[in-house]
Structure 1
Amino acid sequence: MISAANPILPGCYPDPSICRVGDEYYLVASTFEYLPGLPVLRSRDLVRWETVGHAIDRAGMLDFDGIRSSGGLYAPTIRHDGERFWIVCTLVDPSDDARGGNFLITATDAAGPWSDPIWLDADGIDPSVAFDESGRVWMHGTRLARNPAWHHQTEVWVREYSPDERALVGPEHVIWRGAVNGVVWAEGPHLYPIDGRWYLIAAEGGTEFHHAVSVARADQVTGPYEGNRANPVFTHRHLGRGAGVIGAGHADLIQAPDGSWQAVMLAMRASDGHHYPLGRETFLCPVEWEDGWPVFAPGRGRLPETVDVPWADAASPPDAWQPDDRRPGAVPPDDPRWTSLRVQPTQIATVESDDEGVQAWRLPVRAESPADAGTVAFLGVRQQHADLDATGILDVSDLAVGETAGLVVRQSEDDHATVRVTRSAEGLMLSAVHRRAGGEHVIAQRTLAPADTVRLAVRSRGYEYHLLGEGTVLATIDARELDASATGGFLGIWLGVFATSHGSEPRGHVRISRFHYEPSDSQVPVP
């Protein structure tokens, strides 16, 4: 028997949704302002995952222009109707309610191509979709209650969708307004037809420490729904802040080929009970059925460190099917972990080969900096380990005077830290800069000897980020000043490369000769 170690997807993979087609599982997660958006991951055992593609992977599918951090793509749901995959999701622009909304995309192959979005005439967030035995399609989602009994009360609606008309049809039914009096944010609703009943799983309490899972059931998809008297049926909030893992919720159910049940959900590893730089991660939770209700983590009542997967054959997945974080070392340009901000990576960078045929990113400088909610010259990957070394060897020989390139530890436009080089008429200046709550502070700087390449690094150890230039620690940043609990928003940390002309007309470029991501327990040497 093999086991799944929690989290099954470390790093910022929040709001997970899962479906099974035959013996394979497919999972998607929120990506907010990062593109390509909505990674589609495949597994045969819930242990080893392969990123087969992204659902939002080409220019023009959605308008991300100017969307600030923690806006963008929220809470996707993936389902399969027997012939094709469906993903429903929300595009959110916190500064412009008129932009975005709920949309549907479909594909016959989970790897893509995915269709252009079909916009749904439904307000709110976190849409989901279910199919009944007759083939009818039922969309559902959550929104602020039209007639709230308390502040931030939300309600779950359901309405039929016509694939022929590509629109919602028939009457709308409000089926849920929260399990507990005064509860806020009934989010991530999912409906399932199981053994002649319809079950509603919803997250409640807000997607932070008080997150919880509630369940209701009905004889008809449109209700009326009765709540489980045990609601909330799963949470970590009663464990207190010393539990190590907080904020468990936003669950999606899946049945294995052997008939057993599991759930994926988000939670945060916070060793101090408050701060979680890796963001909201995807965990696996065993589920059993008792008296017609799902029981999460039976006999335990909390997310286990490992989950047995007795249906899985350890030899069946090919060796290449390894989670991204299990492949330490160089991150080549074709690695699916690479993302950029508000545009596809290939819209701001190109791939070129050196004399030995080794491929690398060529990143042209842009006027925008990491402090701007625009098209930034940025390429990065999720942080997936508390202890790691991220190293970039950058060819800066083509930077123009006044231009800067470097590594960034990114939470948002307002909160990030950088180790960078800037070209002046006299040469290269190396510096470490911390931007906090929109204010920028130069912590350290010194001149560098003339060189075409520079070696910059971020060494993460628990709640400390050490910023290094040419092997020397320039500054140490407290991760608790960069995570979402301190800064607001919904993201974990990204590590990447940026280049900016600070608002001037850009002229140069930087070549990412090497980018290495090394968990601290890796045996692969840091270059």
Structure 2
Amino acid sequence: MNHYSNPVISGFHPDPSVCRAGEDYYLVTSSFEYFPGVPLFHSRDLVNWEQIGHVLTRTEQLDLSKAGSSGGIYAPTIRYNNGTFFMTTTNVSGGGNFFVYADDPRGRWSDPVFVDQPGIDPDLFFDEDGSVYYTTSHDANGQGVYQSKIDIQTGERLSEVSLLWRGTGGQYPEAPHVYRIGEWYYLLISEGGTEYGHMVTVARSKRPDGPYEGYPHNPILTHRSQLKSIHATGHADFTQGPDGSWWAVFLGIRPAGYPNHHYLGRETFLAPVAWTEDAWPVIGDNGTADEIMPAGNLPLQPKTEPAVRDNFEDASLAPCWNFLRSPDPSNWSLSAKKGSLTLYGSGDTLNETGVPSFVGRRQQHFSFRASTHLTFAPKRAGEEAGIAVYMNERFHYELAVTQIAGARKLIFRRRLGTLWKVESEMPWPHDTVVLSIRGDRADYVFGFARSETEDPVRMGQGECRMLATEVAGGFTGVFIAMYATGNGVRSISPAHFDWMEYRVVE
């Protein structure tokens, strides 16, 4: 029997939503304060996913200028209807709920169409009679799932917002999705909060607008209080394969060590959906999932591994790279030095919720090695460029070249809440350096070398658990980033990152 491995998309990829168009599946996840917004993936088998871009790629679609850490874009929903793809989400830091659409998901998505409905985690449901229902959670009047009928051309509400279901009593009933399957309308939600008490529950009705009756044996997915390697399972979405089988994508975490702590973020998992004799869905093995799962009739495709090294030779950044908040075009360039990513340090640092010169990618594996070749000759005091392990503005580690009192230095620094310290520094008279990070389940080890043929010299280390959500807070995961800053003023010295590697260590 074929099997597949969970998570199907590793690293910080929470709140997955999936749709099918023919033999193609498309999946989106939350992106919070990172730009571009809403990572977009494609698959032919629900297991092997390739990131083909982002849905929100333009500043007129996505304003993150006021987004603090874990603000910005919350849970999206993607749907395919009559040849058009729709994605709806919430920008909690400006604008509220909206949707965009595209004929080709790999192409240009529309400008936002805003929907005057409170709440978060919006869902679009297209009924067979042409009606379109917009469902959200956390109305201003209380906890629950709310719905209205909308005009899909304009986003205008065609009905009042009404309460659909309050769930089974767990906190934060959210992440609603409505489906019509057979004679029933099903309402899928999450409860318990997106932490260790997370769970998925379901209700059904003969009408899309209710009333909804909960499944007597809810929840249909949860790992709460279980001895599993996967925890906090919830926020699920259903899709049906061409063979008629049903599958659920959902988020979960993989804690490292005891007490539990996770820093890779909430990841995307997959499990089959079975149906009871009286037509209720149950996810996985009676509501649980494992890291190795039977693939059933999924037409498993060959796994494609992403490139280890990016030489920055293309005209645009690869889909794995992200900026913090709405990017300032003057902070970066792919053309200033051919075959390099050039960062011009802004006045903002990694310690603020501003717009630092920052280009990062998600840490997606417990054991990895990341390295970059930096060409940087700081001319003024405070100019700095290097590589960082970043959870948020209060929790990060960095290894950098900087100028201090007229001397060029290599420094390793740790920021943990209100504790801030340069752990080590040394003179560095050279214009180039290879900076590296080696990570495992316990520590990040930082090193430097004159060239990539030399073994790195250890400069310092930081514990992984200190960047975990249980310590640092928030809804995101760790990024491995290149950055530059003038530490309060714009830098005049460009930082050229000639290449960046992210290598999985087995």
2:115 alignment partner in structure 1:
120
Matched pairs, number: 495
Deviations 1:119-147 (A, max 9, x none): 1101111001111111211110101562x
What secondary structure does 1:191 align onto? strand
What aligned pairs does 1:391-406 form with structure 2 within 5 A after superposition?
391-397=371-377, 400-406=380-386
Deviations 1:428-480 (A, max 9, x none): 211111111143211111112x2111111111111211122332222221111
Q: Distance in 1 between matches of 2:28 and 2:441?
A: 27
1:461 alignment partner in structure 2:
440
1:59 partner letter: T
2:44 alignment partner in structure 1:
44
What aligned pairs does 1:361-440 form with structure 2 within 5 A after superposition?
361-397=341-377, 400-424=380-404, 426-440=406-420
What aligned pairs does 1:42-441 form with structure 2 within 5 A after superposition?
42-93=42-93, 99-144=94-139, 146=141, 148=142, 154-180=143-169, 183-239=170-226, 242-272=227-257, 274-290=260-276, 291-299=278-286, 301-314=287-300, 322=304, 324=306, 327-330=307-310, 332=312, 334-344=317-327, 348-352=331-335, 359-397=339-377, 400-424=380-404, 426-441=406-421
Q: Distance in 2 between matches of 1:323 and 1:310?
A: 23
2:24 partner letter: E
What secondary structure does 2:340 align onto? strand
Shift of residue 162, structure 1, vs aligned partner: 0.7
Contact 1:45–1:309 (Cα < 8 Å) also in 2: no
Shift of residue 353, structure 1, vs aligned partner: 8.0
Contact 1:53–1:110 (Cα < 8 Å) also in 2: no
1:28 alignment partner in structure 2:
28
Unaligned runs of 5+ in 1: 94-98, 149-153, 522-527
Contact 1:36–1:345 (Cα < 8 Å) also in 2: no
Contact 2:346–2:356 (Cα < 8 Å) also in 1: yes
2:363 partner letter: Q
Q: Distance in 1 between matches of 2:274 and 2:490?
A: 61
Determine what percentage of the aligned residue pairs are the same residue: 35
1:414 partner letter: R
Q: Distance in 2 between matches of 1:399 and 1:194?
A: 65
More divergent stretch after superposition (81-90 vs 466-475) = 466-475
Shift of residue 232, structure 1, vs aligned partner: 1.6
Shift of residue 503, structure 1, vs aligned partner: 0.5
More divergent stretch after superposition (272-281 vs 191-200) = 272-281
TM-score w.r.t. the length of structure 2 is 0.94
2:489 alignment partner in structure 1:
504
Q: Pick from 467, 479, 500: which aligns with 2:464?
A: 479
Contact 1:138–1:158 (Cα < 8 Å) also in 2: yes
Q: Distance in 1 between matches of 2:281 and 2:223?
A: 17
Contact 1:157–1:173 (Cα < 8 Å) also in 2: yes
Shift of residue 310, structure 1, vs aligned partner: 4.1
Distance 1:391 1:453, change over 3 A: same
Shift of residue 397, structure 1, vs aligned partner: 2.7
TM-score w.r.t. the length of structure 1 is 0.90
Distance 1:345 1:292, change over 3 A: farther
Contact 1:402–1:424 (Cα < 8 Å) also in 2: yes
2:138 partner letter: R
1:234 partner letter: L
Contact 1:406–1:498 (Cα < 8 Å) also in 2: yes
Contact 2:362–2:477 (Cα < 8 Å) also in 1: yes
RMSD of aligned alpha carbons: 1.9
1:516 equivalent to 2:504? Answer no
2:11 alignment partner in structure 1:
11
More divergent stretch after superposition (432-441 vs 82-91) = 432-441
Deviations 1:477-507 (A, max 9, x none): 1111111121110011000111011102421
| Misfit runs of 4+, over 4 Å | 344-347
Q: Distance in 2 between matches of 1:323 and 1:51?
A: 11
Shift of residue 2, structure 1, vs aligned partner: 4.5
Unaligned runs of 5+ in 2: 450-455
Q: Distance in 2 between matches of 1:50 and 1:84?
A: 21
Contact 2:40–2:51 (Cα < 8 Å) also in 1: yes
Distance 1:173 1:385, change over 3 A: same
Q: Distance in 2 between matches of 1:26 and 1:4?
A: 18
Deviations 1:377-416 (A, max 9, x none): 0001000010011111100036544200111110101111
Distance 1:331 1:488, change over 3 A: farther
Shift of residue 92, structure 1, vs aligned partner: 1.4
Contact 2:118–2:140 (Cα < 8 Å) also in 1: no
Distance 1:260 1:366, change over 3 A: same
2:160 partner letter: P
Deviations 1:55-110 (A, max 9, x none): 111233222113111001000000011221111101112xxxxx331111111111
Contact 2:311–2:498 (Cα < 8 Å) also in 1: no
Distance 1:480 1:8, change over 3 A: same
Contact 2:139–2:146 (Cα < 8 Å) also in 1: no
What secondary structure does 2:335 align onto? strand
